[in-house]
Chain A
Amino acid sequence: MSEPRLLSIEGLSAVSDRDNGAPILRDVSLAVAPGEIHGLVGESGAGKSTIARAILGMTPRTVRITQGAIILGNTELLSLDARQLRRLLGAEVALIPQDPLTALNPSRRIEAQMTDGLRMWKGHSAKSARERALTLLDEVQMREPERVMRCYPHELSGGMRQRVLIAAAFALEPKLVIADEPTTALDVTVQKQILKLIRAMQARHKTGAIFVTHDLGVVAQICDRVTLLYQGKVMEHGLTADLLLKPRHAYTKALVRATPRYDRPVDGLIPVPDAVIAACRAEIAGFDGATHG
């Protein structure tokens, strides 16, 4: 494909420094086009958050990237040192964190936290940064933005905090937003609003996004394209509709079947069949054997 790429990850592999070099990522490749939302889906430990952290250059110390490349625009990120990476990422890549309860500094007012980046990267004065922050709060449909600006984080609800974080993430007009399970810590009723909001903000600002989640229902609502991971290996990738409606891989089929749906009530949850898990494990063992042998 020759469509323009915002971010591409090529053959990324990582191992754990703790568990005898156990592989965490196995030759992961994916591409994000400008303005599209790319879902990273998988169960716990599938490596989706590791990929998000790797883009930001913030993998934990116990994770060592062994090969591969992460290319943002025309720059390969893994070869940059911390200072260069910071300068490049600060204004171009933003993070919407998982837990809005801890992602805001408890002892600083919302205004200070929202204007930090604007003043540092965009050369705003205190006054113009404040105006920009108010506009952004308005864009995320925050009621009484003036008042919210004066609040400390503990004075806001979880959903309001997540709105603040979304507004802050889009403040610098980044090219790429990484959303790390942004709705997991929220009430189900708030989840849907937040998803719509991310979608709306992303469309308005024409931002590319990586959306990390374990929920195929969320993927169906928000993602254009999906990469499905199992134990750090890409099992299937493609357009959301194709992947969900015409899954090719047995694991994808089983996951799609396991996702609860309103129009298809069942007694209890359908687990992914043991045979499918066994097949996935065998596939990964085969992959490891081939790369080590």
Chain B
Amino acid sequence: MPKPFSRTRGRPRFPALIRLLQNPKLGLGGGFVLLLVIIAVFAPAIAPHDPLEQDLMASALPPFWLAGADPAHLLGTDDLGRDVLSRLIFGSRVALTVAVVAGVAAGTVGSLLGLLAGYFDGWTDIAVSRLIEIWMAFPAVLLSILIVAILGSGVGTVIVAIAIIDWTRFARVIRADTMANAQADYVVAARTLGFGRWTILFREILPNVMPGLIALLAMEMGIAVVIEAILSFVGLSVSSDTPTWGSMIASGRQIIYQAWWVFAAPLAAVFATVLAFNQLGDGLRRALDPVMRR
């Protein structure tokens, strides 16, 4: 029997899987993020040492490929003799928690305002747009330090601070995307069918801005990791008995000439995580967009 569709002929059995394999950004970025999630969840089982256990007799041991290393401490120890690898592993917990929760919070607030501004032009758009402009004039890091100073330190505060600072990223992009979609004929068609404005906004327009939103969300998670590291670095994140990458960078900085690896290891972790989130975001954008993925 002849098949009239040339484009859908031979539609693969597992289109999602095929697409993933065709898209190295998605595979590599997503793979690394998934690995990170597993590490964070099973940190107590994976970490070779207690991240808080001090051993002043074994302080500042180098990583395994340098002379004088102890095979029990693969990435060496810091100035208090704590195992760097174990601290990295436990540090991923705070980093990922903040990334996911703060990313979703900023994304929800920002996209909602962006959708409203893009669809209901007039005073709603004017109000949201001016708010975005005012917001973006604040220096982000200083604003976050101010928020933490007012609310007190802790993971919850860091999350709130990131959401308060970064919703504008979502709002700007989603607003423009919504405006473009609101002009499309399918919105006119939905209106002639008698759908209300909210139905059109959430059922017709939202699915079309979703690929962009998800991509932004992944990238925002990378940014949240950096902001958390900065706040930990200046000692405004969680209490010092919880290992974080930022506080490791801060303590490593003080002994950078004696033991550079204590500084370099968490820096590399932040770098790899942000890179992975960015690649994941870009890969998702390509994979999810029904027009781009033909």
Query: Which residues of A are at the interface with B, using a C-beta cutoff of 8 A?
Result: 56, 58, 86-87, 89-91, 93-95, 97-99, 102-108, 116-117, 120-121, 143-144, 147, 151-152, 154-156, 165
Contacts and interface: CB of A to CB of B under 8 A. Distances in A.
B178 to A, nearest CB: 13
A156 B210 CA distance: 22
Interface string B187-230: 01111111110000000100110110000000000000000000
A89 B195 CA distance: 11
A86 B194 CA distance: 5
B257 interface: no
Contact of A58 (B4, B188, B204, B207): B188
Interface string B157-190: 0000000000000000000000000001110111
Nearest to B288: A107
B7 interface: yes
B14 interface: no
Given A95-B188, A144-B4, A106 B291 contact: yes
20 contacts: A58-B188, A58-B191, A89-B192, A90-B193, A91-B194, A95-B189, A95-B192, A98-B185, A102-B184, A103-B186, A103-B189, A108-B207, A117-B193, A120-B193, A143-B4, A144-B4, A151-B5, A154-B290, A155-B8, A155-B294
Contact of A97 (B5, B189, B194, B291): B189
B188 A97 contact: yes
B207 A107 contact: yes
A154 B291 contact: yes
A105 B7 CA distance: 19
Contacts of A120: 193-195
Interface of B: 4-5, 7-8, 184-186, 188-196, 204, 207-208, 210-211, 290-291, 294
Contacts of B192: 56, 58, 89-90, 93-95
Contacts of A108: 204, 207
Nearest to B121: A61
B291 A105 contact: no
Contact of A102 (B8, B186, B193): B186
A120 B200 CA distance: 13
Contacts of B7: 155
Given A95-B188, A97-B188, A155-B5, A106 B193 contact: no
B4 A151 contact: no
Contacts of B189: 95, 97, 103-104, 165
A163 B210 CA distance: 28
Contacts of A156: 5
- Interface pairs A-B: 4 shortest CB-CB: A90-B194, A103-B185, A107-B207, A102-B185
B276 to A, nearest CB: 26
B188 A121 contact: no
Given A106-B208, A107-B210, A107-B290, A151 B196 contact: no
B19 to A, nearest CB: 14
B186 A104 contact: yes
A58 B184 CA distance: 14
A105 B186 contact: yes
Contact of A105 (B191, B194, B208, B211): B208
